[in-house]
Amino acid sequence: MVKTHYKYASLAFAFSALFATGAVAEEVNIYTTREPGLIQPLLDAFKSSTGIGVNTVFLKDGLAERVATEGESSPADILMTVDAGNLIDLVEKGLTQPVASDVLTHNIPAQLRDAGNQWFSLSMRARVVYAAKELGLKEITYEELADPKWKGKLCVRSGQHPYNTALFADYIVHHGAEKTEEWLTGLKGNLARKAAGGDRDGAKDIVGGICDLAIANSYYVGLMRSGKGGEEQVKWGEGIDVLLPTFKDGGTQVNISGAAVAKHAKNKDAAVKLLEYLVSDEAQKIYAEANFEYPVKAGATIDPIIASFGELKIDPTPLTEIVAKRKEASELVDKVGFDN
């Protein structure tokens, strides 16, 4: 443990020394689990608009451990990651601080930010249904996915993947554990193949005639149809319809990318300015164009591919309540043998 501490402490010192020699008068330092290329257009636009420089450190994993080990010497001002659970984990480990910002609280819906203003959503992806075009489906509920009429016709990735445990946890919030277990048993009975692969495999397998429906994330359709995934994936994306399912007593389940200000941020004012910029109309438009994600700010521009799915009615369940049920959802996945 001592060696690890000095290792990260020296890295933090080198990081700070490097930034101190920079040409910019004001700057903000981001630790992020998002690929830098995905957010670089936003950071470039922010610097151009404000003159504030932005430095990023990409951490595929171990973000919380890195910041905790660096302690007060950490150069991190903003902690940016994907998935509400990861953000809440940072708060629970005491690695963030509250932010008082009328811009953030006005632009971000209450269920998409921390009640204590410790973390904030910056973009969304919806858990949608891909459907074979020949079905001609216009709408569906999450509950209906367990209907026996879809027996042998459903594709989905592992039930233990965070994308799915979030959906299943939301189902628990709406219907309770007992009904969720019944629903998961129904979903398993409707599988056309083993729950495995990725979300894009659902589109591929629909086009290939293996299944009629797939549960997947919305932004993958943008990646496929735009050609960013290659010519073959264009065929997958164009070969499916996309439905925005809802709970019978709610809306469409979403997950997020988001950020928090680090507990020991040395450049807190600049960090807050960046977060406020990221939920501006300009930045939300860039998010939509670069990553095919939904903006969190009402009225912000949505990419035409994503907009073609129809109006997104966000499920009102606070993300904190969904995250609190994830462990129970994971246990139910194992109980019904969903991935077996």
**CA dist., res. 55 & res. 195, Å (int):** 39
Ordered DSSP codes for 9-77: HHHHHHHHHHHHT-S-SSEEEEEESS-HHHHHHHHHHHHHHH--EEEEEE-SS-HHHHHHHHGGG---S
Name the token pair of 186: 């129904």
DSSP class of residue 300 equals -
Q: Which residues contact 34 (CB under 8 A, 6 or more apart)?
A: 58, 80, 81, 82, 257
**CA dist., res. 294 & res. 306, Å (int):** 8
The reply to whether 287 sits in an annotated binding site is: no
3-class DSSP state for residue 152?
A: coil
**CA dist., res. 303 & res. 311, Å (int):** 13
**CA dist., res. 223 & res. 216, Å (int):** 13
Query: Is residue 120 within 8 Å of residue 232, measured between CB atoms?
Result: no
The reply to whether 219 sits in an annotated binding site is: yes
Name the token pair of 167: 């959906």
DSSP class of residue 134 equals G
Query: Is residue 235 within 8 Å of residue 108, measured between CB atoms?
Result: no
**CA dist., res. 129 & res. 12, Å (int):** 44
Binding residues, by number, are 219-220
Annotated binding site for Fe cation: 219-220
